[in-house]
């Protein structure tokens, strides 16, 4: 019992360390540096320690110090309790979703089977959508509690946009459920050990619909109308500063990691390498013994999984610094008149193909 608790604790600390300790701060640097490269600029390079700039990486430390020391301002007339609670409500769901996302398979270590997922739920896919939708309350509450008309308008846009695109996201996943016949994410990942059963081959339209809807859910360009600096100052978090402001940004970057992880798991084989099976890796390193070979397989699979996640984060950055912002009416039209009918058509075609092949 103690060993199981210790293994679970290690997995929780690993996920928390990777998302909050690594990806969230590093992505603040990647955002600025990648945009600078794309725009033929130098980018963040001023912060230094003893004259060393480390390609601008010290800006991560400078940003953290600034957030921790900056004044926590609450505007007059604001609801102080909800103003403080909203960034927490926005951030926590993005972290909780990783409880059911497997970042590797099942390995035998020292005679004990270790499953690289914190909680292997039968309804893991449903859990992600249920928990992720809670973040909407954080954004809506932030705008309403700030006693600012620009913030309120931004929060109304958040509510309308996230409700609109959650419908499409949910429907695109139906195709995955029909193909794989399960909502357990570990099973979906294991099925994709066969390269030709990767989701991108079985549900190509579903992938593009899901990826577009995911970016809209995260309110990133070209779907950043709820923040729209040229229209709403900063949208729902206009009246936030210091650590609370940082929590909203951290939530956005953690959601980018979540999107990359889900896309990797559902459509791009999860932790699996093309044409390389678990048995193949174990047989290649069988001279290290059972535990040694499993450790090598674990390291390979975890590395492959997060390499794929990094690629999709990079791709989200490319989209963010390439496309212009859509008008709000265009965002609604895209969601309800284009993506939603396509997602319904995808379900219909998937069902017809499954029936035809039976």
Residue extents of the structural domains in the chain = 75-357
Rounded distance between C-alpha atoms, residue 50 and residue 241, angstroms: 29
Query: Any idea what the Cα angle at residue 305 is, between residues 96 and 179, rounded to 5°?
Result: 80
- Contact status, residue 158 vs residue 226, Cβ threshold 8 Å: yes
Query: What angle separates helix 24-38 from helix 242-267, to the nearest 10 degrees?
Result: 80
Backbone angles phi, psi at 249, to 5 degrees: -65, -40
Rounded distance between C-alpha atoms, residue 201 and residue 196, angstroms: 7
Q: Omega into 255 within 30° of 0, i.e. cis?
A: no
| pLDDT for the residue numbered 301 | 92
Burial class (CB in 10 A: 0-12, 13-18, 19+), 77: exposed
Q: Tokens 């794989």 belong to which residue?
A: 180
Cα atoms in the Cβ-side hemisphere of radius 13 Å centred on 92? 9
| pLDDT for the residue numbered 1 | 67
Beta bridge partners of 115: 106
Of 269, 271, 167, the C-alpha closest to 210 is: 167
| In the chain, alpha helices (H) | 2-16, 24-38, 58-69, 80-96, 124-132, 135-145, 149-180, 185-191, 199-202, 204-217, 229-232, 242-267, 278-284, 289-320, 328-333, 340-357
| pLDDT for the residue numbered 310 | 92
| pLDDT for the residue numbered 347 | 93
pLDDT tens, position by position, for the chain (358 residues)?
677 778 888 888 888 888 877 888 888 888 888 888 888 888 777 777 877 777 777 788 887 788 778 777 787 877 888 888 888 888 888 888 888 999 888 888 887 888 888 888 888 888 988 888 888 888 888 888 888 888 888 888 888 888 888 888 889 889 898 999 888 899 999 999 888 889 999 999 999 999 999 888 888 878 887 777 777 777 777 888 788 888 888 888 888 899 999 999 999 988 888 888 888 888 888 888 888 889 898 899 999 999 999 999 999 988 888 888 888 888 889 889 999 999 999 999 999 999 888 7
Of 244, 236, 255, the C-alpha closest to 320 is: 255
- Contact status, residue 192 vs residue 199, Cβ threshold 8 Å: yes
CA 196 to chain centre: 25
Query: Any idea what the Cα angle at residue 32 is, between residues 31 and 33, rounded to 5°?
Result: 100
Task: Give me 301's structure tokens.
Answer: 């699979």
Task: Give me 144's structure tokens.
Answer: 């309403």
Q: Report pTM.
A: 0.90
**How many residues are there in the chain?**
358
Rounded distance between C-alpha atoms, residue 135 and residue 114, angstroms: 31
Backbone angles phi, psi at 110, to 5 degrees: 55, 40
């Amino acid at each position: 019992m103690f060993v199981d608790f210790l293994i679970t604790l290690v997995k929780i600390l690993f996920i928390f360390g990777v998302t909050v300790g690594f990806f969230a701060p590093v992505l603040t640097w990647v955002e600025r540096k990648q945009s600078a490269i794309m725009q033929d600029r130098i980018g963040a390079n001023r912060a230094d320690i003893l004259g060393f700039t480390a390609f601008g990486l010290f800006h991560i430390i400078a940003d953290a110090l600034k957030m921790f020391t900056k004044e926590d301002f609450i505007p007059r007339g604001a609801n102080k309790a909800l103003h403080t609670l909203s960034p927490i409500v926005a951030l926590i769901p993005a972290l909780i979703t990783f409880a059911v996302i497997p970042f590797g398979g099942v390995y035998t270590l020292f005679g004990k089977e270790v499953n690289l997922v914190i909680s292997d739920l039968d309804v893991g896919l449903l859990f992600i959508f249920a928990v992720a939708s809670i973040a909407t309350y954080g954004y809506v509450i932030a705008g309403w509690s700030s006693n600012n008309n620009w913030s309120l308008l931004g929060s109304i846009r958040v509510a309308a946009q996230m409700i609109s695109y959650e419908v499409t996201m949910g429907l695109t996943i139906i195709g995955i459920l029909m193909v794989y016949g399960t909502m357990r994410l570990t099973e979906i990942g294991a099925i994709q050990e066969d390269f030709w059963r990767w989701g991108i081959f079985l549900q190509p339209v579903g992938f593009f619909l899901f990826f577009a809807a995911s970016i809209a859910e995260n309110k990133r360009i070209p779907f950043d109308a709820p923040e729209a600096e040229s229209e709403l100052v900063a949208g729902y978090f206009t009246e936030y500063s210091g650590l609370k402001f940082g929590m909203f940004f951290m939530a956005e970057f953690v959601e980018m990691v979540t999107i990359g992880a889900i896309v990797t798991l559902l459509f791009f084989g999860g932790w699996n390498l093309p044409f390389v099976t678990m048995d193949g890796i174990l047989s290649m390193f069988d001279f290290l013994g059972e535990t040694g070979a499993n450790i090598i397989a674990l390291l390979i699979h975890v590395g492959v999984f997060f390499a794929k996640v990094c690629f999709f984060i990079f791709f989200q950055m490319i989209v963010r610094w390439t496309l212009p912002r859509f008008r709000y009416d265009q965002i609604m039209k895209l969601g309800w008149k284009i993506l939603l009918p396509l997602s319904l058509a995808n379900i219909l075609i998937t069902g017809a193909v499954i029936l035809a092949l039976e």
